[in-house]
Amino acid sequence: MRAMGPEESWRIVESQRYAIADIMEALDPARWELPSLCAEWRVRDVVAHLVLGAQRLRAPVIFQGAVRARGNFHRMNRDLAVAYASRPIQVLVAELRRGAASREVPVVTNYRNILFDVLVHGQDITVPLGVELAIPSSAGLAAADTVWNLRWPMWTQKKFRGLRFVATDVPWTAGSGLEVRGSIAALLLTLAGRAAALDQLDGDGVDDLRSRVVPSRPVTKLNRTF
């Protein structure tokens, strides 16, 4: 399967953002507060993160967030999302839809990371809601390549050393060792640290894999202003 270029990647990012906005607009408000697949993030927080991902955040906002999080990238990301998520549901949906076609790229990232981010966070939202949001195979393959080659802050290859991942629906493999097989969508979620897709995988390496993917922790409330 050929590599995915920026134009095709941005088209899929746009379509995923619109699809998520449509899903969230039709959702009962109580379900916005459910835990997502992303540890310690509500569904609402993940939507807010996607809204922020289509914007160019001001340097002072990023700097202040980094200071508050004491340099912890994951904590800073969550803090910014939780603070922004305090906006009304209608505002978050409108902003997600308005920014769907945005090609803004936050600092220290690129379009490949945006594609990976939108695909995984779309599943973070929809899987616990029991709503299907399809991941195009070509996009899943591109995103799996991205996460597999990520170093900071995920260090994917180090985390999954000794395992060989094999997609059963597209020509994609990564790593070496005990084999783990499954669809590219299930592999993508697992490589991104989500335990939700583990039951969709098989192979001699699955038991080992389970010990390396930690289930999402309960959501804790965080009071911050954006």
Of the given ranges (15-19, 75-79, 191-195), which has the lowest mean pLDDT? 75-79
For residue 153, cis peptide bond before it (omega within 30 degrees of 0): yes
Are 111 and 6 a contacting pair, CB within 8 Å?
A: yes
Residue whose structure tokens are 């390549």: 145
Q: What is the spatial distance between Cα 20 and Cα 218, in angstroms, rounded to a whole number?
A: 23
Task: Yes or no: say if 102 and 91 are a contact pair by the CB < 8 Å rule.
Answer: no
For residue 42, what is the DSSP state?
B
Alpha-carbon distance values, 144 to 8, 11, 35, 170 (Å): 16, 18, 24, 11
Helices (H) then strands (E): counts for the chain: 10, 3
Instruction: Judge whether residue 60 has pLDDT over 80.
Output: no
Do 57 and 76 form a contact (C-beta atoms < 8 A)? no
Encoded amino acid at 173, one letter: T
Residue % of the chain over a pLDDT of 70 = 85
Report d(CA 144, CA 220) in Å as an integer: 29
Q: What average pLDDT is seen over the chain? A: 89
* Tens digit of each residue's pLDDT (9 = 90 or more) over 19-40: 999 999 999 999 999 999 998 8
Furthest C-alpha separation in the chain:
48
What is the spatial distance between Cα 159 and Cα 79, in angstroms, rounded to a whole number? 25
* Angle of the 43-53 helix axis to the 6-25 helix axis, nearest 10: 140
CB 205 within 8 A of CB 163: yes
Burial class (CB in 10 A: 0-12, 13-18, 19+), 199: exposed
pLDDT band at 59 (very low <50, low <70, confident <90, very high): very low
